[in-house]
Amino acid sequence: MTEIDRIADQLERGFSGDAWHGDSLLKILEGITAKQAASTPIPNAHSIWEIVNHLRAWRPAIGARLNGQVRELAGPADWPPVTETSDTAWRDCVRDLIHRHESFMKAVRWFPESKLNDLAPNRDHSYYVMLHGVVQHDLYHAGQIVILKKAAR
């Protein structure tokens, strides 16, 4: 197994697989209604929907970085606002997250292992650190979603 394979495995386990720590992000999102996703049961915290939009925003940004592009996200690009809160919009949001993750994973699997120690564009860390950072980022936000999910019930 190559290092890219191991990184891809960790990304998939945290997103939709059999994660060592517990439920994957998609498992955590199961059963969340649009109403729960849009609610803000904890003052001054993001909603589940806002967090999912944030995760959706970063998939193509990191994919672009894997292709050598400088991609920065700030403000609404980093935290896209929730503009519609219907059940259909929520299902579409989660479906889009899955689609963006699949596209991102294609980019990860095609990334040359020989470049893992190279610096990511406009960064002081390597692609290796960046990809492990995506795993950490997903799990950090998955934990937030678990707390919000409990608070919204």
**In total, how many domains does the chain have?**
1
Phi, psi of 119 (to 5 degrees): -70, 135
Domain that holds residue 8: 3-152
Helix (H) or strand (E) run with residue 131 in it: helix 127-152
The answer to whether 121 and 9 have CB atoms below 8 angstroms apart is no
Per-residue pLDDT of the chain (153 residues), as tens digits, is: 999 999 999 999 999 999 888 999 999 999 999 999 999 999 999 999 999 999 999 999 999 999 999 999 999 999 999 999 999 999 999 999 999 999 999 999 999 999 999 999 999 999 999 999 999 999 999 999 999 999 988
Q: Say which CATH number the domain at 104 has.
A: 1.20.120
What's the confidence (pLDDT) of residue 21? 86
